[in-house]
Amino acid sequence: MKVYFATDHAGFELKEALRAFVAHELEYEVEDCGAHEFVAEDDYPDYVAKAARAVSSDPTGARAVVLGGSGQGEAIVANRFPGVRAVVFYGAGSAEGEQEAPSVVEVAREHNDANVLSLGARLVTLTEAKGAVRAFLETPFSGAPRHVRRIEKIDQYP
């Protein structure tokens, strides 16, 4: 499986660290869709669209990790492409730490067959991001009939 990475200036440093983590520690093939250098005024749609287009052409065999300040805009861009199911992760989601960071990502993989992970680079630590990416890449889709049925319904919308 190939993993595509994309970000603007807000997630540039984190993308570089995660790209190396995925390539060297998790040993996946990676492709960097940009930004390739820090440019303070760049625009995330330019890069995220490249990664989303790649996943859209192979929704079951490719994945992408996209980053931005909150991850929300990046997910919006990614979800405009057919067959892309982007989920946003921006931390543990619980002020008291009751929920482990990757659990939201695991549910998105198991139930929704999410194929794009959007990270809020200004809201997560490197450790949280690595945990979320690992969970995203290693958690399989359950294939349960109710989840398949729901994804099929989603795919019917233009």
Q: One of 111, 138, 147, 152 is an active-site residue; which one?
A: 111
Q: One of 25, 74, 98, 152 is an active-site residue; which one?
A: 74
For 135, residues 6+ apart whose C-beta sits below 8 A from its C-beta are: 102, 103, 105, 106, 109
Strand order in the sheet with 29-32: 29-32, 2-7, 62-68, 116-120, 86-89
Q: Which residue do the tokens 């009939």 mark?
A: 145
Query: CA-CA distance, 39 to 23, in Å (whole number)?
Result: 24
DSSP E strands: which ranges in the chain?
Answer: 2-7, 29-32, 62-68, 86-89, 116-120
∠ CA 31-110-87 to the nearest 5 degrees?
55
Q: Is 98 a known active-site residue?
A: no
Q: Is 111 a known active-site residue?
A: yes
State the catalytic residues.
74, 111
